[in-house]
Amino acid sequence: MPNHGLKNLQAQNRIACSRNEISWTYNSADVASNEQQVTFLLLIRAEYVILFSASVLSLDLWPSKAYFGVYAAVFLCSMGILIFRSVTKPEQVWYQARALAESVKTLTWRFAMRVLNSRTLTIWTI
């Protein structure tokens, strides 16, 4: 005769995350996602403002050395933002952190509703 009580106890012992660990993981992923979203949107806005400035400066309104110096500075700022965005890739960190937060939230809901299967139990093991 199989001992189902022992199997249930073993399954309960396999679950390693407490409420504090779940909320900490979700909160840290959520904060990281929000910070990277703000950074990404700030860089995009700055890039658009600089590109608009470059388009206005391309009208050649005052042909002087200072004018072309400002135009060159705007161009270099635009290139700097583009290179920074390409190297740091804040949109990818934003998406990954958001995916982690949503996964933690989904797994927490599954655990609370007791919708656990062998796949989710392996995720929650030590």
State yes or no: pLDDT of 89 exceeds 70: yes
Tens-place pLDDT, residues 23-34: 788 889 889 999
Helix (H), strand (E), coil (C) string for 44-111: HHHHHHHHHHHHHHCCCCCCCHHHHHHHHHHHHHHHHHHHHHHHHCHHHHHHHHHHHHHHHHHHHHHH
Q: Measure CA of the first residue to CA of the last residue in the chain; give whole Å.
A: 29
Q: How far apart are CA 40 and CA 93, in angstroms?
A: 10
Whether residue 52 is contained in a domain is answered as yes
Mean pLDDT of the chain: 80
Domain that holds residue 32: 19-123
pLDDT at 53: 93
Residue 78 lies in a domain: yes
Domain assignment present for residue 5? The answer is no
Q: How many domains does the chain have?
A: 1
Rounded to an integer, the average pLDDT of 50-60 is: 90
Domain membership of residue 9 (yes or no) is: no
pLDDT-derived band at 98, boundaries 50, 70, 90: very high
- Is there a domain that residue 13 lies in? no
pLDDT by residue (tens digit) across 31-48? 999 999 999 999 999 999
Query: For residues 80 and 25, which has the higher predicted lDDT (pLDDT)?
Result: 80
Does residue 96 belong to any structural domain of this protein?
yes
